[in-house]
Amino acid sequence: MVNLKINGIAVSVPEGSTIMQAAKLANVRIPTLCYLKDVQCVGSCRMCLVEATGARGLVAACVYPVSDGMEVRTNTPRVRKARRTTLELILSTHKKKCLSCVRSMNCELQKLALEYNAEEDRYGTDHDLKPIDDLSASVVRDNSKCIMCTRCVAACNNQTIGAIGPKNRGYAKVIGSPYDVSLAFTPCVNCGQCVVACPVGALYEKSAVADVWGAIVDPDKEVVFYTAPSVRATLGEAFGLPVGTNVEGKMVTAIKQLGDVKCFNMDVTADLTIMEEATELLARLEKGGTTPMFTSCCPGWVKFLEHYYPEFIPNLSTCKSPQEMFSALLKTYYCEKNNIDPEKLYVVSVIPCTAKKFEISREELGGYTDAALTTRELAKMIKEAGIDFANLEDGEFDSPFGIASGAGAIFGATGGVMEAALRTAAFKLGGKGAPVEFTEVRGIEGVKEADYTVGGATVKVAVASGLGNARKILDAIKSGDKEYTFVEVMACPGGCINGGGQPYVHDEVRNNVELKTLRAQALYDSDSDNVFRCSHASPVVDTIYEEYFGSPNSHKAHELLHTTYSKRDKY
């Protein structure tokens, strides 16, 4: 252990720790713009400069190692002046459209500029407005607001995609795609991890808010919303509620106050996905089909496989994602049951994921979803409508798609799809005495493995979150080093609870709070409180099969709930 003082506060930290880590133990806040836990640590933004004994000049706290007896000062006049100058230089090349920016009042640069009394025009405004790249179905890039922190590049590289990177040198340096092409024409998988890493408004989702408002006031449209499992665990953060607060009831009430709309629970089609997927897995095992079978709920993961590992396409489950299953169900079963013209039903999904915006454009999925709103976009609509979210009474999802199982709820956490599928597969193999909880696949680790023996059958499973970890598993399968029966992959580290469409969280929170763990716990609590713990126990799912599909993997189910995939070029 190394003993030192931070602003006079004595702390003891393991050898090799940085000043930033020591400051955290001392409850001393040091500002950053480039550093982001689990994303990058490069010391390039110079906002975390501090004075330290034994050092020549100011040092970057995020990378500078501590030494025994060191004394660190984080708030001297010299330090504050250096930070203010850095901010003013950044502002001199930044497009300052703060009032209309998507990050207004939630921008890390704006917050620091206010704290350090930075003059936005001390060094003038010396930049050329760069064209906005909005050709992607999911992500918009405005390089005129980029501050060159390179968090987005690190996030993309951590995903092993590399769709964006630094180009040129010095003052001419910019972040862009190879050959200056739009993100739409790169192997970007639309995961949005670059968006949630960006501290300013240089990256944001392609908004569907205006289209949804238009549909709500259109007398010829009947509008229905349905919300993904993880949204209830994160939406409250946009309104100042603690991380991990389950706001399901308030969320439903808020959506219904947006206009004359219905609100359904996407957990229903998470259950439906499990019924189809578990049946498909058992059929592959019985008939000698392609294994290991991969989950297909995550559109970012599916696109990644189509670009980089097309030889594994036969391993993907043919099930559509819960989003696409729900929209197909609404435009067919729901419309037929209620004598609604499908052309007049406007279907809005609320999702934690920017990749879902791309997914609704895939022709092979049938075009059933009219709009996909991120959690951030829903929060924006609620605020625009003047709704006092924090003080809302709890509402209930509308019938007939309001009741779902706890297995559907945990879909939003890494390992949740696997556990939900195992619950139903175990029941089909082992009967009523089969286990309900499979805790080995829980947790935010990037790769998890487990072996289960149920009903005389041994199932080897693996779970990956983050595409870098998915690549490790795929390469291990290709080399023959690993053999699995069933593999779950989610593109975003931690799963949907950490999706690219979730509320913006300042670095000082992301660096010090276990976001993924707290958000996931809200879903597991929802599961444990549910009367129905397994997808096959859901009365709503039973009704859907009795009235419409007959049985899982039936011909009709394959027509509406299953799809195909195809190889994509990298460029």
**The predicted structure's pLDDT at residue 310:** 96
Of 11-20, 25-34, 378-387, 427-436, the range with the lowest mean pLDDT is 427-436
How big is the CA angle at 45 (ends 39 and 48), to the nearest 5 degrees?
90
**The predicted structure's pLDDT at residue 80:** 98
Mean pLDDT confidence for 530-551:
96
Which segments of the chain belong to CATH 3.40.50.1780?
Answer: 209-268+325-391
Mean pLDDT confidence for 107-132:
90
Looking at the annotation, which residues are catalytic?
277, 280, 297, 317, 356, 359, 364, 496
- Residue percentage of the chain with pLDDT more than 90: 91
Backbone angles phi, psi at 489, to 5 degrees: -130, 135
> Cβ distance 315 to 291 under 8 Å?
yes
- What is the fold of 209-268+325-391? Rossmann fold (3.40.50)
**The predicted structure's pLDDT at residue 426:** 86
Kindly list the distances between the CA atom of residue 1 and the CA atoms of 8, 14, 66, 329, 387, in Å, as whole numbers in the listed order.
Answer: 18, 4, 10, 60, 51
Mean pLDDT confidence for 318-340:
97
Mean pLDDT confidence for 413-441:
88
Structure tokens at 50: 């501090």
Mean pLDDT confidence for 186-203:
97
Mean pLDDT confidence for 227-254:
97
**The predicted structure's pLDDT at residue 435:** 81
Q: Where do runs of H (alpha helix) occur along 355-415?
A: 355-359, 375-384, 406-409
- CATH entry, 2-75, from 3.10.20.740, 1.20.190.20, 2.130.10.10, 3.40.50.150: 3.10.20.740
Mean pLDDT confidence for 50-55:
94
Which segments of the chain belong to CATH 3.40.950.10?
Answer: 275-318+405-561
First to last CA, the chain: 50
Q: How far apart are CA 342 and CA 538, in angstroms?
A: 26
The CATH architecture one would assign to domain 275-318+405-561 is 3-Layer(aba) Sandwich (3.40)
> How confident is the prediction for the chain on average, in pLDDT?
95
pTM of the model: 0.95
**The predicted structure's pLDDT at residue 457:** 77
> Cβ distance 166 to 196 under 8 Å?
no
Structure tokens at 166: 């630094």
Q: Answer whether residue 564 shows pLDDT above 80.
A: yes
Mean pLDDT confidence for 482-493:
97
CATH top-level class of 88-205: alpha beta
Q: How far apart are CA 55 and CA 4, in angstroms?
A: 14
**The predicted structure's pLDDT at residue 569:** 86
Residue 425 binned pLDDT confidence (cut-offs 50, 70, 90): confident
**The predicted structure's pLDDT at residue 126:** 66
Which segments of the chain belong to CATH 3.30.70.20?
Answer: 88-205
- DSSP-assigned states of every residue in 38-63: TTB----S-TTEEEETT-SS-EETTT
Q: Tell me the per-residue pLDDT of 218-229, one tens digit each, with 9 for 90 and over.
A: 999 999 999 999
Pick from 557, 532, 445: nearest CA to 268: 532
Residue 332 binned pLDDT confidence (cut-offs 50, 70, 90): very high
- DSSP-assigned states of every residue in 109-171: HHHHHHHTT--TTTT----PPPPEE--SSSEEEEGGG-----HHHHHHHHTT----EEES-GG
The three-state secondary structure class of 454 is strand
User: Rg for the chain (alpha carbons), in Å?
Assistant: 25
Q: How far apart are CA 280 and CA 425, in angstroms?
A: 10
**The predicted structure's pLDDT at residue 141:** 97
**The predicted structure's pLDDT at residue 127:** 66
Q: Answer whether residue 369 shows pLDDT above 80.
A: yes
Q: Tell me the per-residue pLDDT of 54-101, one tens digit each, with 9 for 90 and over.
A: 888 999 999 999 999 999 999 999 999 999 999 999 999 999 999 999
